[in-house]
């Protein structure tokens, strides 16, 4: 599967968001990852619809919205309305029945659905949702902040998730998020990830195009037979 690079806006210069979005587009990135944090599911608050809406108006890249919130189901209609391409909810944010309903609602609104596993959540927690998702997100840091170190000990879980998906939902992608950089992306790719969220290592690089293409190359090289 083609390797996708998703710069995380959390690492952008918020005083110049419009230009930052253009910089991400010019870099050859595939998706624009938007981290919504409510200060309850995670100990940090990022941005909500007053920021997402204007982003959606100008962005040409598909918006990949990562909901680090306790009630992501409240916002599905609004996310569909602004034109989000994909919505990720955390496996432990709501009870499983409510998560199932939310994933169905995301898909029936025409968006792609994804479930995220925080570092302490096991791969098997995806099972009730496995046929309802287009992407599984294996967090490689504790959610809440950019700029943290990559947790290499999550790689066996990426492999386990790949095993479950091969069995129940083979076309489903695996995203990794947190600490992805040139020195870590290869390990994630060889473990089975194919969508890479990159905050610090993309937006904080002076040459974002160079960063995105070398990250993509490192991911591809890692899986080349
Ligand atoms: C963390 C967010 C990430 C964050 C990644 O909770 O989900 O998307 O922006 O940033 P880096 O790449 O700097 O670890
Ligand atoms: Zn994220």
3-class SS letters over the chain: CCCEEEEEHHHCCHHHHHHHHHHHHHCCCCCEEEEEEECCCCCCECCCHHHHHHHHHHCCCCEEEEEECCCHHHHHHHHHHHCCCEEEEECCCCCHHHHHHHHHHHHHCCCEEEEEECCCCCHHHHHHHCCCCCEEEEECCCCCCCCCCCCHHHHHHHHHHHHHHHHHCCCCEEEEECCCCCCCHHHHHHHCCCEEEECHHHHCCCCHHHHHHHHHHHHHHHHCC
Q: Does 177 participate in catalysis according to the annotation?
A: yes
Q: How far is CA 93 from the centre of its chain?
A: 16
Q: Which residues pair with 26 in a beta bridge?
A: none
Ion ligand 2: residue ranges with CB closer than 5 A: 35, 66, 177
Among the atoms of ligand 1, which is closest to the Cα of residue 201?
A: 12
What local confidence, expressed as pLDDT, does residue 221 receive?
Answer: 98
Q: For position 212, what pLDDT does the model report?
A: 98
Tell me the pLDDT of the chain (225 aa) as tens digits.
Answer: 899 999 999 999 999 999 999 999 999 999 999 999 999 999 999 999 999 999 999 999 999 999 999 999 999 999 999 999 999 999 999 999 999 999 999 999 999 999 999 999 999 999 999 999 999 999 999 999 999 999 999 999 999 999 999 999 999 999 999 999 999 999 999 999 999 999 999 999 999 999 999 999 999 999 999
Q: What is the pLDDT of residue 1?
A: 80
Residue 99's pLDDT is 98
- What strands, in cross-sheet order, belong to the sheet with 86-90? 4-7, 195-198, 173-177, 135-139, 112-117, 86-90, 63-68, 32-37
Q: Output the ligand 1 site: residues, CB below 6 A.
A: 8, 10-11, 33, 35, 66, 141, 143-148, 177-180, 197-200
Q: What's the pTM?
A: 0.98
pLDDT at 213: 98
Nearest atom of ligand 1 to the alpha carbon of 148: 14
Residue nearest to atom 9 of ligand 1 (CA): 146
pLDDT score, position 112: 99
């Amino acid at each position: 599967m083609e390797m996708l690079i998703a710069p995380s806006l959390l690492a952008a210069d918020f005083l110049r968001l419009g230009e930052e979005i253009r910089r991400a587009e010019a870099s050859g990135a595939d998706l624009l990852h938007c981290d919504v944090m409510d200060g309850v599911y995670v100990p940090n608050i990022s941005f909500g619809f007053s920021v997402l809406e204007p982003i959606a108006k100008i962005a040409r890249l598909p918006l990949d919205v990562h909901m680090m919130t306790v009630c992501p189901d409240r916002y599905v209609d609004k996310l569909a309305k602004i034109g989000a391409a994909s919505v990720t909810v955390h496996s432990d944010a709501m009870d499983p029945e409510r998560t199932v309903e939310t994933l169905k609602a995301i898909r029936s609104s025409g968006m792609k659905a994804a479930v995220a596993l925080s570092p302490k959540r096991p791969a098997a927690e995806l099972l009730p949702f496995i046929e309802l998702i287009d992407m599984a997100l294996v967090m490689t840091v504790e959610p809440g902040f950019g700029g943290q170190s990559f947790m290499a000990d999550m790689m066996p879980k990426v492999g386990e998730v790949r095993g479950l998906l091969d069995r129940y939902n083979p076309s489903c992608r695996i995203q990794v998020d947190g600490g992805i950089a040139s020195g870590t992306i290869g390990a994630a790719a060889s473990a089975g990830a194919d969508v890479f969220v990159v905050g610090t290592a993309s937006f904080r690089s002076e040459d974002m195009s160079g960063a995105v293409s070398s990250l993509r190359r490192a991911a591809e090289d890692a899986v080349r037979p």
